[in-house]
């Protein structure tokens, strides 16, 4: 599932995000959502989240 809809993302789920520094390469980082930072219900590049390890990026995939 893609990470463009805020309603699909819950605190505690596992996701793959792209960090700001990795936007050119598209390298993904996996982690557990700690905070949801995007306020709008939809974002075309993915909802911005903070992982439990403190990294911030946009959700590309939700791991089910």
Question: Residue 36 sits in a domain of what CATH number?
Answer: 2.30.30
Residue 17 domain flag: yes
State which residues form the domain around 47: 6-62
pLDDT at 8: 95
Residue 46 domain flag: yes
Residue 1 domain flag: no
- The CA dihedral of 20, 11, 29, 18, to the nearest 10 degrees, is -30
pLDDT at 29: 97
Entry pTM: 0.92
pLDDT at 1 over 90: no
Residue 26 domain flag: yes
Quote the CA–CA distance of 37 and 26 in Å, as a whole number: 20
- Please state the domain count of the chain: 1
Sign, CA dihedral 11-2-43-25, equals positive
pLDDT at 27 over 90: yes
Residue 30 domain flag: yes
CB atoms within 10 A of CB 6: 18
CB atoms within 10 A of CB 54: 8
pLDDT digits (tens, 9 = 90+) for 33-55: 999 999 999 999 999 999 999 99
How far is C-alpha 11 from the chain's CA centre? 11
Residue 13 domain flag: yes
Residue 18 domain flag: yes
């Amino acid at each position: 599932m893609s990470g463009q809809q805020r309603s699909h993302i819950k605190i505690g789920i596992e996701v793959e995000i792209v960090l700001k520094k990795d936007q050119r390469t598209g390298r993904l980082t996996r982690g557990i959502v700690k905070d949801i930072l995007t306020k709008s219900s939809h974002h075309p590049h993915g909802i911005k989240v903070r992982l439990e390890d403190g990294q911030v990026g946009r959700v590309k995939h939700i791991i089910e």
